[in-house]
Amino acid sequence: MTKAFWKATAERAVRTFAQALLAVLGAGSAGLLEADWAGALSAAGMAAVLAAVTAVATSQGTEGPGVLETVRTDTSK
């Protein structure tokens, strides 16, 4: 549970949030003003939480947020 792990996990959660929000809003095919923003934000928030929980559950002590992922800790590249 290094700083690099949490940074990668946060990035994954934010990315998942944005993808889920756009998917829910796009599926409704409504205009921005008519969209169910509360429902869309709720679904996107749950997706982000699940992404973070999955990263922690699958970390198994490695640096990355997933089973097969590692986070580069060398910042010189």
- 5-14, 51-60, 66-75: least confident range: 66-75
Contact 24, 37 (CB under 8 A): no
Handedness of CA 46, 47, 53, 54 (dihedral sign): positive
Say which DSSP state 60 is in: T
Residue 13 has a pLDDT of: 94
pLDDT in tens, 10-65: 999 999 999 999 888 887 666 767 778 899 899 999 999 999 998 888 876 555 55
- Return all residues near 49 (Cβ < 8 A) that are at least 6 apart: 13
